[in-house]
Amino acid sequence: MSDKDICEVYCYDEEKVDRIQKKIKLEDWSGVTPLFKVLADEKRAKIAYSLCQEGELCVCDMANIIGVSVATASHHLRTLHKQGIVNYRKEGKLVFYSLDDKPVKQLITMALAHRKEVKAHV
């Protein structure tokens, strides 16, 4: 940031600030930060994206898609499951995961669209 990026005087719109602060207090923020932290990991974001595309994938498929070991893929999938982002089902010795959260699909789609937009303007 440069000096041009900040206000040269300190003043604020008290009405606007109060209105937004009231709205912030009405929301439940407890799950927002953990959700973004979980998806901030590139491997987990790729897992969520893959599940958006395919619907359901086995752990072995997921490991190959993101280029990690089955153990690492399982670790990431467990983390996503703990946050309520994915569901799993067992079929014999295989475990299949699916996205359990439609807003996460929208979030990933919007994040990728945002990234394309930013890259187009740079």
The rounded distance, in Å, linking the Cα atoms of 31 and 69 is 29
CATH of the domain at 54: 1.10.10.10
Q: Residue 49 has what pLDDT? A: 92
User: How many domains is the chain built from?
Assistant: 1
In a domain, 61, yes or no: yes
User: Which pLDDT belongs to residue 54?
Assistant: 84
Report how far residue 50's alpha carbon sits from residue 66's, in angstroms, rounded to the nearest whole number: 9
Residue 24 inside a domain? The answer is: no
**Positive/negative CA dihedral, 25, 26, 31, 35:** negative
Of 7 and 51, the structure prediction assigns the larger pLDDT to 51
Q: Between vectors from CA 114 to CA 84 and to CA 96, what angle results, nearest 5°?
A: 30
Mean pLDDT of 37-55: 91
pTM exceeds cut of 0.85: no
With beta carbons less than 8 A apart as the criterion, state whether 78 and 88 touch.
no
Residue 87, domain member (yes or no): yes
Confirm whether 27 is domain-assigned: no
Q: Tokens 């998806």 sit at which residue?
A: 39
**Which residue range forms the structural domain that includes residue 59?**
32-121
